[in-house]
Amino acid sequence: MARADSDAVTTPQIPEDVLEPSLAPVPRARPIAVAFVALFAGVVGYVGAWRVSLWSDEVATISAAGRSPQELIELLKHIDAVHGLYYAGMHVWISAFGASPASVRLASAFAVAAGAAGIVLLGTRLANPRVGVVAGIAFALLPRVTWAAIEARSWAATLALGVWATVALHSALRSRRTGAWILYGVLGALAVATNVYLVMLWLAHGVTVLATARDRVRAWIATACVSALVVGGVVLAAARQSGQLGSTDLTPARLVRMIVVNQWFLGGTPTPTTGGSDTGTDLWKVTSVLLALLAWSVIAFAVVRTRRANPTLLAWTLPWLLAPTVLLVTAALVRPSLYNPRYLTFCAPAVALLLAVGLCELRRRVAVAVSLALALLAAPVYASQRTVLAKSSADLSLVAAELRTNASPGDAVYYGPRDPAIDGRVNRSMRTVALGYPDAVRGLEDIGLAVTPADGATLFGTSITLEPALDRLPPHGTLWVVRREDQAGASADDRSLGIAGLHVVGTWRGPQTEIVELRR
């Protein structure tokens, strides 16, 4: 019996670090943890969404997504082809849930929840379940993410697609199955089709593949080429329709501040150059800087502690964080309009993962203290994002409330220009109020409307200037003029109103807009 034991064949224990990528085991996230973090991120992101005033970009989403498929196709032939897939998705959403501010922003909150779920999975695979959960919570609380959660644009969708494309790539690199690469290609193509800036995520993924799995480079290149063929039309259309602008007044100091603070730790909260919040305090201006400094310290600590213990994690996170930023900032040095902090929203998951690693590497008491400090510093920024005027002091909801309260059915309304007229036609006007809050102006006669948004394949419709519009005014009744407070040519419009026999009854002024009530 003893001899039999001595002659028995034993299986040698092979260290995990020499196993093939497809064979080495990885930690698995618990479904309940994934669900909890996703729910937490969605709820935190959505709170206050109904209170914040819409701004013009969100009105563009409502205008485009609210029309028929054929009308949407006609629009995309002229403008915003880069957002076509997002508008199509929002068309389905609006058809089911309506186009109120609370509804269109709920879609973004769901996208953030989906992104948080993916972060838990990815953090667990790259490190351990604890890092996964902490990364998901950090992701949910990042100001850039909490801003995207109540922004009715494609930024939250880019977060979710970027995360899940990365999860799919991780699976593809560990598996020789064609299906895994197909899934990665599909998600990557959808990401670029949703926002062309995610081409930079593909480049970051290329760096990761070179660093972690050089034997799979050919598979990655093949997948990238096929995906590029699929979405090539969107990229070319975006290049032709280059009207989207970022920051045009970048100074070196302002660029550094945007990269260090605004990109991840401020979100779309009003900055000193775009207006303040309506809370009566600018505490967020201070805490956002302190938050950034503390967070970058934790990230630096994570990099130092992990570069030897878990270099693979850095190979996944650092390219994701740094490559798009370097590329975009380099391009902005030549053409400043190419850069805006929100364009790099899809890199926020990498920040969350590195923060989680740093926190989990700290001693427990220190980690608790630092986590609490980060949360307290983020709180004023979060609160400022949920004020009425949070979106660059946009006051459309306040304008709508004034008209809803004081205007009567049958009254006339004229929406002043946001851009100078060309050949007597105005392409962008304050009609954004009517498109974003249609209930507030129902029954009012739009005397300036020349061509509706759908008929003209535009986002905001085409208007005529005020003087000819006054010929449409009934001999009796009230006229409401809604215009930018700093509208060029306002004095000339006032003279035209006086000549037409109209006198001012009252004036309401908001941070950006004024409403003038006039009667004959």
Mean pLDDT of 179-192: 95
pLDDT of residue 271: 44
pLDDT of residue 281: 54
The mean of the pLDDT values for the chain is 90
If DSSP codes are grouped into helix, strand and coil, which group holds residue 362? coil
Tens digits of residue pLDDT in 325-380: 999 999 888 887 788 899 999 999 999 999 999 999 999 999 999 999 999 999 99
pLDDT of residue 242: 60
pLDDT of residue 269: 54
| 513-519 vs 503-509, strand pairing mode | antiparallel
Q: Cα–Cα distance between 103 and 50 in angstroms, integer? A: 8
pLDDT of residue 267: 78
pLDDT of residue 274: 41
Please tell me what DSSP assigns to residue 406: H
Q: Which domains does the chain have, with CATH numbers?
A: 17-385 (no CATH), 396-519 (3.40.50)
What SS3 string covers 210-265? HHHCHHHHHHHHHHHHHHHHHHHHHHHHHHHCCCCCCCCCCCHHHHHHHHHHHHHH
What SS3 string covers 216-228? HHHHHHHHHHHHH
- Flag whether pLDDT at 270 surpasses 70: no
Of residues 495, 438, 444, the one with CA closest to residue 473: 444
Lowest mean pLDDT among 209-218, 223-232, 278-287, 326-335: 278-287
- Cβ–Cβ < 8 Å for 140, 116: yes
Of residues 246, 279, 239, 281, the one with CA closest to residue 262: 246
pLDDT of residue 180: 93
- Flag whether pLDDT at 73 surpasses 50: yes
- Cβ–Cβ < 8 Å for 42, 49: no
CA atoms within 13 A on the CB side of 264: 28
pLDDT of residue 273: 37
With a pLDDT cut of 70, the percent of the chain lying above it is 91
Lowest mean pLDDT among 207-216, 219-228, 334-343, 402-411: 334-343
Q: Cα–Cα distance between 143 and 301 in angstroms, integer? A: 21
Mean pLDDT of 53-57: 95
Mean pLDDT of 458-471: 96
Mean pLDDT of 477-486: 94
pLDDT of residue 224: 95
Tens digits of residue pLDDT in 16-36: 443 444 445 778 889 999 999
If DSSP codes are grouped into helix, strand and coil, which group holds residue 445? strand
Dihedral (Cα; 153, 137, 38, 382), 10-degree rounding: -40
Of residues 281, 342, 462, 357, the one with CA closest to residue 55: 342
pLDDT of residue 21: 46
pLDDT of residue 24: 58
If DSSP codes are grouped into helix, strand and coil, which group holds residue 168? helix
- Cβ–Cβ < 8 Å for 103, 58: no
- Flag whether pLDDT at 245 surpasses 80: no
- Flag whether pLDDT at 472 surpasses 60: yes
Mean pLDDT of 232-243: 73
- Flag whether pLDDT at 488 surpasses 50: yes
Counting beta carbons within 10 angstroms of the beta carbon of residue 243, is it exposed (0 to 12), middle (13 to 18) or buried (19 or more)? exposed
Tens digits of residue pLDDT in 108-167: 999 999 999 999 999 999 999 999 999 999 999 999 999 999 999 999 999 999 999 999
Of residues 420, 15, 85, the one with CA closest to residue 237: 85
Of residues 103, 107, 112, the one with CA closest to residue 143: 112
Q: Cα–Cα distance between 262 and 246 in angstroms, integer? A: 14
pLDDT of residue 226: 94
Mean pLDDT of 193-203: 94
- The band of 249, judged by pLDDT with boundaries at 50, 70 and 90, is low
Higher per-residue confidence, 311 vs 268: 311
